[in-house]
Amino acid sequence: MTRLSDDWRRTHYTKEVDESTTNSEVTVMGWVHEIRDLGGIIFVLIRDREGMIQLTAPTKEVSAELVETIRKLRKESVIGLKGIVQESGKAPNGVEIIPNEIKLFCLANQPLPMDPTEKVKAEIDTRLDSRFIDLRKPSVSSIFKIKSKMLHTVRCFFEKNGYLEVNTPKLVASATEGGTELFPITYFEKEAFLGQSPQLYKQMMMSAGFDKVYEIAQIFRAEEHDTLRHLNEAVSIDMEASFMDDVEVMKVLNDLVQEVIINVKEDCSEELKTLGIDLETPEGHFEIVTYDDAVDMINSKDVPMEWGEDLSRAAEKALGDMMDGYYFLTEWPTEIKPFYVMPNEKDPIKSHAFDLMYKDLEISSGAMRVHQHDLLREKIAEKGLNPDAFGGYLKAFEYGMPPHSGWGLGADRFNMTLTGLENIRETVLFPRDRRRLTP
Ligand code: AMO
């Protein structure tokens, strides 16, 4: 068994090796990004999560043994380097490390399955096939640093506003968003499904008196279409709150999106720069477009759409072209929304459902929910589903269910809006789509 000895501990990430560390000994750990052997002097660029640093080895000044070790290195090998920091006008960070000792942890095989230096552009499939190397590229790891900051902000936001984090089951017995999008699985002697949304459970948490809950978890959708916006496994940020209506939870969503953007801009400026993104902080309330108005706007662009239809891709694009950034689409027809959505009391063909859009991309849906047991049972049946299959859920509505509302925000789609990416696969470490189940 090899264990790291105490004298091989990282003292600095590469970006921390700067002028302030001049003349001191540092230990960095990383990947061999580039090797330039000029005979009398060898340069090795070492890369870690935070950046790069140059190792400079004048062959007459360092030991012959060290020169031999350096000459054996191959690109992408993992090494530890101990050395003295020295100022250097020519080195990328203004400093370089003169090596005292090098520890080779792993010699990388050659040729590499893909180039991690960003010099050669690869197709998305090639990149995803060797994702572990693709993720070494700063332009790719930046996406996940931004996602991490986004999720951290989401948790802080909910915690400071009194929400409880919950974990609901992903092995489930019934559909929530409609029956066609389910992945069936064998669950001992029974048929079960992978959860397509925590919807039913987060609502049951309202009956349990948890008042305000949130969950960040995988959702599984057996969508057959292969688009730049759909995954078969996505991450959803879900919230549910009692004694709140749709307007109030829209405000929560509005505030959350703004807070995430502010934090990402503040803490991920390097990553945004790497991605070439200049994020704008949306001010105040996002614009509200009613479904009725959306239909008129879409038709005005010669994209045919009848009242009562869901937005086609062409309709989303036409609307997106007329809108700037984030906006809410409200007052959806009851008919095309799931059974748990509350119809408008005065005009029941319309509902208290909303979507949050970013240009032509839907990033969240939510609604005030039906909290009356009998109406809910009726609505389940109207959708062609069997109310008896929803027994455990419906029961929660019989014994004290408060009025409540909530939404689900697609974390991967939200990340697309923060990183300017067109293909949702790029915002997921190991995406799952119709054609891809590995790596
Ligand atoms: P909905 O089905 O609209 O609503 O999903 C909520 C959000 O999740 C994201 N999303 C997806 N992202 C990538 N690939 C997919 N296949 C995919 N499907 C959904 C989207 C979408 O806006 N229960 C409701 C939410 C609620 O009312 O609380 C629901 O799941 O960003």
Instruction: Indicate whether 156 and 89 sit together in one domain.
Output: no
Distance between CA atoms of 160 and 155, rounded to whole angstroms?
A: 9
The CA-CA-CA angle for residues 370, 371, 372, to 5°, reads: 95
Instruction: Indicate whether 286 and 342 sit together in one domain.
Output: yes
Q: Flag whether 437 is in a domain.
A: no
CATH number, domain with residue 344: 3.30.930.10
**42 Cβ closer than 6 Å to some ligand 1 atom:** no
- Bridge partners of residue 30, in order along the sequence: 79
Contact call for residues 9 and 80 (beta carbons, < 8 A): no
Q: Flag whether 406 is in a domain.
A: yes
Q: Flag whether 37 is in a domain.
A: yes
Residue with tokens 């890369």: 47
Instruction: Indicate whether 197 and 266 sit together in one domain.
Output: yes
Q: Which of 413, 423, 434 to mutate to test the pocket of ligand 1 (most atoms within 8 A of CB)?
A: 413
Instruction: Indicate whether 167 and 26 sit together in one domain.
Output: no
Q: Flag whether 112 is in a domain.
A: no
Instruction: Indicate whether 274 and 365 sit together in one domain.
Output: yes
Instruction: Indicate whether 65 and 176 sit together in one domain.
Output: no
Give the chain's residues under pLDDT 70.
Answer: 1-2, 178-179
Residue identifier of the C-alpha nearest atom 4 of ligand 1? 365
Contact call for residues 70 and 101 (beta carbons, < 8 A): no
For residue 159, the model assigns a pLDDT of 98
| Total domains present in the chain | 2
Q: 37, 71, 106: which is the final residue of a domain?
A: 106
- How many C-beta atoms surround the C-beta of residue 222 within 10 A? 14
Pick from 327, 332, 151, 344: nearest CA to 245: 344
Q: Flag whether 97 is in a domain.
A: yes
* CA 334 – ligand 1 centroid, Å: 17
Instruction: Indicate whether 212 and 360 sit together in one domain.
Output: yes
Burial of 324 (0-12, 13-18, 19+ CB in 10 A): exposed
Residue identifier of the C-alpha nearest atom 29 of ligand 1? 408
Instruction: Indicate whether 102 and 140 sit together in one domain.
Output: no
Instruction: Indicate whether 158 and 194 sit together in one domain.
Output: yes
Total-model pTM? 0.96
Helix (H) or strand (E) holding 418: helix 411-419
Q: Which domain holds residue 273?
A: 133-427
Instruction: Indicate whether 385 and 345 sit together in one domain.
Output: yes
Which atom number of ligand 1 is nearest to the Cα of residue 197? 30
For residue 117, the model assigns a pLDDT of 87
* CA 1 – ligand 1 centroid, Å: 46
Distance between CA atoms of 56 and 98, rounded to whole angstroms?
A: 5
Distance between CA atoms of 221 and 306, rounded to whole angstroms?
A: 27
CATH number, domain with residue 83: 2.40.50.140
* CA 125 – ligand 1 centroid, Å: 25
Q: Which of 365, 383, 393 to mutate to test the pocket of ligand 1 (most atoms within 8 A of CB)?
A: 365
Q: Flag whether 119 is in a domain.
A: no
Instruction: Indicate whether 197 and 92 sit together in one domain.
Output: no
Q: 106, 123, 142: which is the final residue of a domain?
A: 106
Distance between CA atoms of 431 and 345, rounded to whole angstroms?
A: 42
Instruction: Indicate whether 257 and 315 sit together in one domain.
Output: yes
**426 Cβ closer than 6 Å to some ligand 1 atom:** no
**202 Cβ closer than 6 Å to some ligand 1 atom:** no
Q: Flag whether 121 is in a domain.
A: no
Q: Flag whether 222 is in a domain.
A: yes
**177 Cβ closer than 6 Å to some ligand 1 atom:** yes
For residue 1, the model assigns a pLDDT of 46
- As a 3-state breakdown, the chain gives helix, strand, coil percent values, each rounded to 5, of 35, 30, 40
- How many C-beta atoms surround the C-beta of residue 109 within 10 A? 10
**407 Cβ closer than 6 Å to some ligand 1 atom:** yes
Residue identifier of the C-alpha nearest atom 2 of ligand 1? 177
For residue 59, the model assigns a pLDDT of 97
| Cis check: omega of the bond before 348, within 30 degrees of 0 | no
